[in-house]
Amino acid sequence: MTATRSSRLVSGPSGAVVHAVVSPELGLLEFSVLDPVADLDLLHDWVTRPGSRFWGLADLPREDLRDLYLHVDALPSHHAFLVRREGLPIVLLQTYEPENDPLGEVYEALPGDAGLHFLLGDRGAPVRGFTTLVADAVAAFLFESPAVERLVIEPDIDNERAVARARRTGFELGPHVVLPSKTGQLAFLTRERWERMRSGGAPHAIG
C-alpha cells in the first residue's frame, strides 16, 4: 500500500489503496484515494441520486464536479476516498483538518480533531447493522492515526437520517453551527468513547 500522513490525516496518490480491513460481517473493506477522473462516472451517479440531496453537489456539471475533487485532491488538509466492499464501491469518504476548513471558524477546534463527511452509495449483500458496521470501520481508519483524538461531523440539521445515524454510532451532539451552505448539527466522537463502545467482534486490520 502507498500512503502518506500529512499532520494527522492519511493521504496518498489518486487510486492508491491506503487501508484495508477484514470485517467478519462485511468482508474485505479497502480505502482508496479518490481518482476524480477515473471515478467521475461513479461520483456523478452518487451525488445526483435523490437520497444525496444534502451532499449539495447534484447541480454541478460533470466537469465542475471533477474539478472540485481535483482541487480537494491538491489540498494538504482535505482528502477524499472511496471505500470498497469486496471490490464494490460503497462509500465516498472525505476527511479534513477542521482548523483549515470553514467549520473551524464556528467552533473551537482541538489539535486532535479530524473532520469527516460520509456518503453511502451502495451496499452489496444485505447485512444486519450495515451502516453502523461501516461507520465503525471508517472511525477505525481515522483513529489509526495516533494524533487523532476526536472525530467531528456537522450534518445538515434537516438531514434527520444522518443525525440519527450519528447518535446511533456513538457521536454526542453539540450545538448548531451556521456554515456557508447550511446550518449544521455539530457532533463529536472521542477516541475514548469509541474504544469503550467497541465489542470483541471488531474488524481485523491487514494493512
Q: What is the pLDDT of residue 207?
A: 41
Burial 147-174 (b: 16+ CB within 10 A, else e): ebbbbbbbbbeebeebbebbeebbbeee
Count the alpha carbons within 13 Å of 162 in the hemisphere toward its beta carbon. Answer: 21
Q: Confidence class of residue 201 from pLDDT cuts 50, 70 and 90?
A: very low
pLDDT tens for 102-130 read: 999 999 999 999 999 999 999 999 999 99
Residue closest to 138 by CA, chosen among 63, 82, 100: 82
Percent of the chain residues topping a pLDDT of 90:
90
Give this prediction's pTM: 0.92
Position 60 scores a pLDDT of 94
9-11/182-190 β-pairing: unpaired
Q: Measured in Å, how far apart are the chain's first and last C-alpha atoms?
A: 8
141 neighbors 19 (Cβ within 8 angstroms): yes
In order of their start, the domains of the chain are: 4-199 (3.40.630.30)
